[in-house]
Structure 1
Amino acid sequence: MSKKVILITGTNSGFGWLTVQSVAALGHKVYATMRDTKGRNAEKANALSALENVTVLDVNLTDDDSVKQAVDSVIAKEGTVDVLVNNAGFSLNGVAESFTTADVQSIFDINVFAPWRFIKQVLPAMRKQSEGLIINITSGFGRVSFPFATVYSGSKFGLEGISEGLHYELKRLGIDVAILEPGAFPTEMNQKTNYASDQSVFEGYDAIADLPNKMINALGALIQAHNPNPQDVADAIVRLIEAENGTRPLRTVVDPITGEFIEAANKAVAEHFGKGLTTFGMGELLN
């Protein structure tokens, strides 16, 4: 397997942290992005920088110029970016009405616009070499919208939509776009409970006030019972990277808890989506 230049976002914890180490151990050149590498993430940045084949980049995902400078620096040094892994993510919880416009914008800026910023910057180099791979980490909640995760699901639906369209637009150009849908894992993001800003609406939801805690408790019990290993997600990313170009599936589910029904949804949609492409004269993109 040829060694690749791989850019991974959200590497200070969770799936990103594990993926950097897994990919670098195979000899690939890894560029790992995170914020505040001289401050709160200094220890994490130093630990990854100490690994062979890893360079840490301080990037503000919500800033166009910061993303462009990071990608430009990689291309200036390496000549290209072979693989982009959009892993960084952000979540808020609560009844949908409690989300302010600023709350919604903050989630979409990280979960939708940030991946798009990177995609826009790496595509010219990928098109030039007629080869590349973009892996977008979404969620099982990007296929179904669960109550009290409504806005988070909306953002992951958005990334799924961008990824699915790009998958077909770019495959003839030698560029694969793959979606990875993790379920619930004991990562730092899933262990934090961040609530939306407008708590004044809560008194109007007395009839279902106990349900958010029931969901959190049930999820905690499922995680404890199944003990899902976040390394499984990193391993799935490695398998996608190692797969032959043009053979990678559009969607990969890594979810020992609810993966069965997400897989079923994916299968049903794929069948009818193919019929839709054919109906609209684009059936050749399925091959």
Structure 2
Amino acid sequence: MNKKVILITGTNSGFGWLTARSCAASGHRVYATMRDVSSRNADKAQELVRQAGITVLDVDVTRSASVTDAVATVLGHEGRIDVLINNAGLYATGITETFTDDDLDNVMDVDVKGPWRLIRAVLPHMRQQKEGLIINISSVAGRFSVPFQTVYNSAKFAVEGLTEGLHYEVRPLGVDVVMVQPGAFPTEIFGKIVSGSDNTVIAGYGELAHVPGQMGAGVAQMFATLKPDPQLVADAILSLIDTPAGQRPLRTVVDPVAGSFTASANNSVKKEYDQFMTAFGMQAMLS
């Protein structure tokens, strides 16, 4: 196995936590980032660094200086970055109208601009290396918009657009940009839900105001019954890392509950997209 230098965001829990540990266990050199490593996430940071191959960095993806400092640190120690995994994110649910401008900005700053800041920081080095892999964690909710998580869906739609365009744009330069589309998994993200702050509109929704809570109860029941394992996402990421450059698919669905729904849409759109690229003279970017 070719050991790679991997930078991962949002490793204090969930997919990021599992991916950091799995990558290190596979022999890779992992730089795991999270916020507040000396306070709120001190225990998580200390547990990660006890595993061989992991260094924890305190990084806030909403601050450009924090991002560029982290990238500079990794390059200073390793001389290269082979893989960037943009995993940090906020999960937002509730009646969409309750989200103010500031609420929307908060979600987009983390879920969309955060990955963009990391991408811009590592791309120059990957282009210089003439190789590299960027994996953005999207969602099945980046392909279909689910009611009452519209703000979250919008952010993931943006991640899809960012990833798809860059996938073709920088592949001729030796850099693979791909995404993973997880379904719903029982991770800590459901304990950190972001909601809109303008509650004055809720009364106008009548009985519909109860639907977000009912959806949450349904998801909890699904978790209890089907027990989807979030390690599947970490395993899919590892598989992408191990796949030869230029052969990695743009989208990888990881959804044991309803994954065929998203995979079918991906396959159908891919056929039409290839025809579109060919019609506009860009067929060379498809291979």
Bin for the TM-score computed over the shorter chain: over 0.9
- Mark the CA change 1:78 to 1:42 in structure 2 (over 3 Å): closer, same or farther: same
Using the alignment, how far apart are the partners of 1:193 and 1:113 within structure 2? 19
Q: How does 1:230-249 map to 2 (within 5 A)?
A: 230-249=230-249
Using the alignment, how far apart are the partners of 2:118 and 2:143 within structure 1? 23
In structure 2, the partner of 1:252 is 252
User: What is the deviation of 1:214?
Assistant: 2.3
Q: How does 1:187-198 map to 2 (within 5 A)?
A: 187-198=187-198
In structure 2, the partner of 1:25 is 25
CA contact (8 A) 1:184 1:190 kept: no
Amino acid at match of 1:96: T
Q: 1:123-156: CA deviations, max 9, x gaps?
A: 1111111100000001110101111000100000
In structure 1, the partner of 2:130 is 130
Using the alignment, how far apart are the partners of 2:190 and 2:275 within structure 1? 37
Using the alignment, how far apart are the partners of 1:194 and 1:174 within structure 2? 37
User: What is the deviation of 1:221?
Assistant: 1.8
Give SS of 1:210's match. helix
Give SS of 1:240's match. helix
CA contact (8 A) 1:16 1:88 kept: yes
Amino acid at match of 2:241: I
Give SS of 2:93's match. coil
In structure 2, the partner of 1:211 is 211
Give SS of 1:184's match. coil
Q: 1:178-208: CA deviations, max 9, x gaps?
A: 1100000000002444321111100110142
In structure 1, the partner of 2:97 is 97
CA contact (8 A) 1:98 1:196 kept: yes
Amino acid at match of 2:281: G
Amino acid at match of 1:97: E
Q: 1:221-272: CA deviations, max 9, x gaps?
A: 2222211001111111110001111111000000011211111111111111
Structure 1 stretches of 4+ with a deviation exceeding 3 A read 191-194
Amino acid at match of 2:105: Q
Superposition TM-score, scaled by structure 2 size: 0.98
In structure 1, the partner of 2:279 is 279
Using the alignment, how far apart are the partners of 2:235 and 2:23 within structure 1? 9
In structure 2, the partner of 1:45 is 45
Q: 1:117 and 2:117 equivalent?
A: yes
Q: 1:6 and 2:11 equivalent?
A: no
Using the alignment, how far apart are the partners of 1:22 and 1:225 within structure 2? 26
CA contact (8 A) 2:95 2:209 kept: no
Greater Cα offset, 28-37 or 273-282: 273-282
In structure 2, the partner of 1:270 is 270
Using the alignment, how far apart are the partners of 2:280 and 2:107 within structure 1? 33
Using the alignment, how far apart are the partners of 2:230 and 2:25 within structure 1? 17
Give SS of 2:107's match. helix
Superposition TM-score, scaled by structure 1 size: 0.98
Give SS of 2:148's match. coil
Using the alignment, how far apart are the partners of 1:104 and 1:150 within structure 2? 11
Using the alignment, how far apart are the partners of 2:170 and 2:7 within structure 1? 19
Greater Cα offset, 72-81 or 213-222: 213-222
CA contact (8 A) 2:90 2:194 kept: no
Greater Cα offset, 272-281 or 30-39: 272-281
In structure 2, the partner of 1:175 is 175
User: What is the deviation of 1:210?
Assistant: 2.8
In structure 1, the partner of 2:107 is 107
Using the alignment, how far apart are the partners of 1:14 and 1:45 within structure 2? 14
RMSD of Structure 2 on Structure 1 (CA):
1.0
